[in-house]
Amino acid sequence: MQVSVDFLTVNLCEKDNYRYGGRYHITNAAETKKVGSDDLQTMGAIMEREAMEFDVVIVGGGPSGLSAAIRLKQLAAESGREIEVCLIEKGSEVGAHILSGAVLEPRSLNELIPDWKERGAPLDTPVTADKFMFLTETGSFRLPTPPQMNNHGNYIISLGNFCRWLGEQAEALGVEIYPGFAAAEVLYDDSDAVCGIATGDMGIGKNGEQTEMYMRGMELRAKQTIFAEGCRGHLTKTLFDRFDLREGKDPQTYAIGIKELWDIDPEKSKPGTAWHSVGWPLSTDTYGGSFLYHLNGNQVAVGYVVGLDYSNPHLSPFEEFQRFKTHPAVRGVFEGGRRVAYGARALNEGGFQSIPKLTFPGGCLVGCTAGFLHVPKIKGTHTAMKSGMTAAEAIFESLEAMQPGHEPASYAERLQDSWLWSELYKVRNIRPGFAKGLWRGMINAAIDTYLFMGRAPWTMRHHADHITLKTASEAPKIDYPKPDGVISFDRNSSVYLSGTNHEENQPAHLTLKDSSVPIEHNLALYDAPEQRYCPAGVYEIVREEDGSSPRLQINAQNCVHCKTCDIKDPSQNIVWVTPEGGGGPNYPNM
């Protein structure tokens, strides 16, 4: 038997070796080499890796992965069967890497755990008021709230805390959850079917050599592997390529969401208020907007979302967010308050026409790694949960008699018969309509919603975000104000509040296919946009004292795992790979 392993790596190193039946595959982004034991002796390869067997392995401890785990165990209990379900999460704990607004539509939760109130689900702030505003530079006026943004019956929550609660429910049902372990490899059997994943090695130094803390990764093998990695999943990218899952589909399009959590003056607190805006500070040719969600406990979640199909390379989503908070209609909320948390994450915006083929031999995709965000609602948790539950039902029906390499094709069929599919289909033309600017987008959205009721006889298309940048000379420069340290802040102080940390002595997880591209291409043509689209100050152009010899410095320690660089880099030269498990942000109450 021969097993190959897919990696998103640039340079071969000893952690890229995998032994099975006396043969090895070493794979990088460009090539796969088959080598034998003698070849590996010169590479110092570590040949043994422990393995564990499960019925189902789930990669990712977000809403979709946890919902799949819970539903699998529910079905097993209902049928009197025992199944082994394992979920791994690269964050230090379930919820550590979870960031969202968030307003939760409880539809899927009602289906999955009908007695969630009695079980103490952290949904304690029902939405009591919706406001949708248009901002000019100095003023604002209220717009009619689009029907998709009507939040009656929804709850303002911390999605991280909600996932922590879901994790408790899953563990109570017998799901084995392993936080702090990053899935680094997809395992394949001799029929090219997925047969599990392997966690990354720990204790590899920057030079690729083992340190005294070295610990070999572990294989988690399963009849079915569910990938619930979230937006721009690094292993999901390899599955797209290996199984042509994006063939005939529109490119996925993305946005970056940047969020802060504030303690505010109790007199300004309005628990249950969901406030959104469009307009200033973005120009009307750039898609984006804000949210302010008032939680209980005198807290406000504030955030800004910028579509990553923007064209001006001088634009900085982070700076736009900081500038937004200084608006006269917004600043007063935060005066006298204290910022307590910060984070950022990319989100899918492609919707219906960008959903890939969801299944392949040995597994399937669920949640945001597939792209089920409902953009007009600004919600994806209920759809992510539903996809995980549906995948669990499709897998369970065949699990007992399942043969290796089984493809759970009924998952896609079940999903197409669900409310999720029709919900996304009806709004498929709204987000691409904004490619023509804010006003055309809003007119298109109104026509599609009120005249065609989501049933227009056409489907608008998407384009890839990395191809949209103008050159630096073609776009106007943007003069951002300096942060005041009271309402607006710099990147370094912001990253500090994210709790981000990585083991410093490890191979870089932000890799370059070609080290010459950042200076010869990105800097020359686009004035190094990676300095601006990264919300954590990871990418920096440094020079000699006289301004000569520019080079790209990568401050990987700052990375909050938002994946924006992997998406927006105009040459697609930056490749995000998973660092050691447990690294990255540690978001509290986000």
Of the listed 67, 92, 100, 125, which one is catalytic? 100
Mean per-residue pLDDT over the chain, rounded: 92
Strands 363-365 and 219-227, sheet pairing: parallel
Looking at residue 508, its pLDDT comes to 87
- 21: Cβ–Cβ under 8 A, 6 or more apart, which residues? 1, 2, 3
Report helix, strand or coil for 553: strand
The Cα diameter of the chain in Å comes to 74
Distance CA 230, CA 345 (A): 10
DSSP 379: B
Alpha-carbon distance of 441 to 225, in angstroms, equals 39
Compute how many other C-beta atoms are within 10 angstroms of the C-beta atom of residue 57. Answer: 29
Cα torsion at 241, 244, 248, 251 (round to 10°)?
-20
Query: What pTM does this model have?
Result: 0.91
Catalytic residue, chosen from 290, 559, 564, 578, is: 559
Number of Cβ within 10 Å of residue 458's Cβ equals: 8
User: Reduced to 3 states, what is the DSSP secondary structure of residue 102?
Assistant: coil
The per-residue pLDDT for range 458-517, each reduced to its tens digit, is 999 999 999 999 999 999 999 999 999 999 999 999 999 999 999 889 998 999 999 999
Task: Calculate the CA 311 to chain-centre distance.
Answer: 22
**Are the beta carbons of 148 and 377 closer than 8 angstroms?**
yes
Mean pLDDT check: name the lowest of 2-16, 203-217, 364-378, 402-416: 2-16
Q: Is the pLDDT of residue 16 over 80?
A: no
Q: Where is average pLDDT lowest: 13-22, 345-354, 493-502, 526-535?
A: 13-22
The CATH number assigned to the domain with range 42-113+160-248+356-428 reads 3.50.50.60
CA separation for the pair 35, 562 (Å, rounded): 36
Could you give the angle at the alpha carbon of 460 between the alpha carbons of 562 and 388, nearest 5°? Answer: 50
The residue-averaged pLDDT of 258-272 equals 98
Residues 6+ apart with CB under 8 A from 250: 350, 353, 354, 461, 462
Is pLDDT at 208 greater than 70 in this prediction? yes
Q: Which of 164, 221, 339, 345 is catalytic?
A: 345
Does 123 have pLDDT greater than 70? yes
The CA distance from 186 to 271, in Å, is 44
Question: Is 565 among the catalytic positions?
Answer: yes
Q: Is 195 a catalytic residue?
A: no
Chain position carrying tokens 């990669």: 59
Catalytic residue among 195, 236, 565, 578: 565
The answer to whether the peptide bond before residue 102 is cis (omega within 30 degrees of 0) is yes
CB 314, CB 528: distance < 8 Å: no
Q: Is 562 among the residues known to form the active site? A: yes
Angle at 290 between CA 532 and CA 371, to 5 degrees: 80
Catalytic (active site) residue 338: no
Q: Out of 4, 92, 359, 381, which one is annotated catalytic?
A: 381
Residue 364 annotated in active site: no
The H-assigned helical ranges of 95-175 are 107-112, 159-172
pLDDT digits (tens, 9 = 90+) for 384-422: 999 999 999 999 999 988 888 999 999 999 999 999 999
List phi, psi (to 5°) of 534. Answer: -75, 125
DSSP conformation class of 432 = H
Per-domain boundaries in the chain: 42-113+160-248+356-428
Whole-number percent of the chain with pLDDT over 70: 92
**Which listed residue (13, 163, 364, 534) is catalytic?**
534
For residue range 286-342, what is the model confidence (pLDDT) as tens digits?
Answer: 999 999 999 999 999 999 999 999 999 999 999 999 999 999 999 999 999 999 999
Distances (CA, A) of 548 to 166, 314, 515: 53, 21, 18
Burial of 263 (0-12, 13-18, 19+ CB in 10 A): middle
Taking each continuous run of H as one helix and of E as one strand, the counts in the chain are: 17, 27
pLDDT band of residue 17 (cuts 50, 70, 90) is very low
Sole residue written with tokens 């975000």: 465
